[in-house]
């Protein structure tokens, strides 16, 4: 299957490599052409993963139309604030009715706090859409470490298609039709992870973090179900699972933002040091 992967950051790159390892072809597109030359010697995945060799089946470029030409699936891994803009720049001729859209971004669109699946529905109302989410770091995926995710779609046949594409000995993928719950879990946990980081930055200790995560799961459930998600979703991979990972690992950008704030740094200084998007 031919895939276009929009978003050449750590997550988009790792997912593109995973697709190639599964026998698919993927063309990776980046919003910022100035960040792409490091890829262009086609020997390693510099600058995001300089120690990983460039896989066969992977292409890369900054021409959106060329990236989408002939694609059977589009994987969206751009930041939440850029999703609508990127979708609006895609020529309709490159969006055939059977093109499968897979959303791998987490967050909410601001202002308005729309879920990202709602942004997809407004931008591409007729195309099949699947949300791929769960407790997963790009670093673990690209190194071949085991992880589990959820593919959610209104049409379960579409969700099962994505399960077949991404499932491997490394990655277990479950299917769901709770699109709202999966998207909400991936967004709400970002804020709670910042709170956990603030607690650690203040030196409150492991016990406080455990309490915060546990009560955070309860809050995630209450808010998420009030907004239309289901209990089992928030108790599963895309709710509690994603929160536990994001709130407890130093690889988490949102947790690192919180730690910086807890240590007294300004938000501007923290984000400057981070050098990457933090959706919380």
Give pLDDT, residue 278: 61
Instruction: Please report the beta strands in the chain, taking only residues with DSSP state E, as ranges in sequence order.
Output: 2-6, 25-29, 44-45, 49-53, 58-61, 73-76, 100-103, 108-109, 114-115, 129-133, 147-152, 171-176
The token pair that represents 135 in the structure block: 């407790």
Residues of the chain with pLDDT below 70 are: 33-44, 46, 275-280
Catalytic residue among 24, 161, 189, 255: 189
Name the residue ranges covered by the structural domains of the chain.
2-177, 183-274
Give pLDDT, residue 7: 94
Task: List CB contacts of 92: < 8 A, sequence separation 6 or more.
Answer: none
Contact 14, 142 (CB under 8 A): yes
Give pLDDT, residue 37: 52
Active site residue 189: yes
The token pair that represents 178 in the structure block: 């709770």
> Is 190 labelled as part of a ligand binding site?
no
* Phi then psi dihedrals of residue 94, to 5 deg: -95, 10
Give pLDDT, residue 274: 79
Give pLDDT, residue 46: 65
> Is 106 labelled as part of a ligand binding site?
yes
> Is 262 labelled as part of a ligand binding site?
no
Give pLDDT, residue 45: 76
Give pLDDT, residue 42: 59
> Is 9 labelled as part of a ligand binding site?
yes
Give pLDDT, residue 165: 98
> Is 81 labelled as part of a ligand binding site?
no
The token pair that represents 86 in the structure block: 């990127």
Give pLDDT, residue 61: 85
The CATH code for residues 2-177 is: 3.40.50.720
> Is 8 labelled as part of a ligand binding site?
yes
Give pLDDT, residue 54: 83
Domain 183-274 architecture: Orthogonal Bundle (1.10)
> Is 134 labelled as part of a ligand binding site?
no
Full-model pTM: 0.92
Give pLDDT, residue 279: 57
Give pLDDT, residue 34: 65
Hunting for tokens 């994505």 — which residue is that?
162
> Is 230 labelled as part of a ligand binding site?
no
Q: What would the DSSP string read from start to end of 69-133?
A: TT-SEEEE-S-HHHHHHHHHTS-GGG--TTPEEEE---SEETTTTEEHHHHHHHHSTTS-EEEEE
């Amino acid at each position: 299957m031919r895939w276009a992967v929009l978003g050449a950051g750590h997550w988009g790159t790792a997912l593109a490599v995973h697709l190639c390892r599964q026998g698919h072809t993927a063309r990776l597109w980046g919003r910022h052409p100035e960040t792409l030359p490091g890829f262009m010697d086609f020997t390693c995945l510099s600058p995001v993963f300089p120690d990983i060799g460039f896989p066969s089946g992977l292409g890369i470029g900054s021409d959106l139309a060329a990236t989408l030409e002939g694609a059977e699936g589009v994987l969206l891994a751009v930041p939440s604030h850029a999703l609508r803009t990127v979708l609006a720049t895609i020529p309709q001729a490159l969006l055939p009715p059977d093109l499968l859209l897979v959303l791998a971004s987490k967050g909410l669109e601001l202002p308005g706090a729309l879920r990202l699946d709602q942004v997809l529905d407004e931008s591409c109302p007729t195309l099949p859409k699947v949300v791929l989410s769960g407790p997963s770091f790009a670093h673990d995926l690209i190194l071949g470490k085991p992880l589990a995710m959820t593919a959610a779609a209104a049409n379960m046949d579409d969700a099962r298609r994505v399960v077949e594409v991404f499932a491997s000995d490394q990655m277990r993928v479950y299917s769901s039709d709770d699109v709202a719950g999966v998207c909400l879990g991936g967004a709400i946990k970002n804020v709670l992870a910042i709170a956990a980081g603030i607690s650690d930055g203040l030196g409150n200790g492991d016990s406080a973090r455990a309490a915060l995560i546990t009560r955070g799961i309860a809050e995630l459930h209450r808010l998420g179900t009030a907004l239309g998600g289901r209990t089992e979703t928030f108790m599963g991979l895309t709710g509690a699972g994603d929160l536990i990972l994001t709130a407890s690992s130093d690889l988490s950008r949102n947790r690192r933002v919180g730690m910086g704030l807890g240590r007294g740094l300004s938000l501007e200084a923290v984000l400057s040091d981070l050098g990457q998007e933090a959706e919380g």
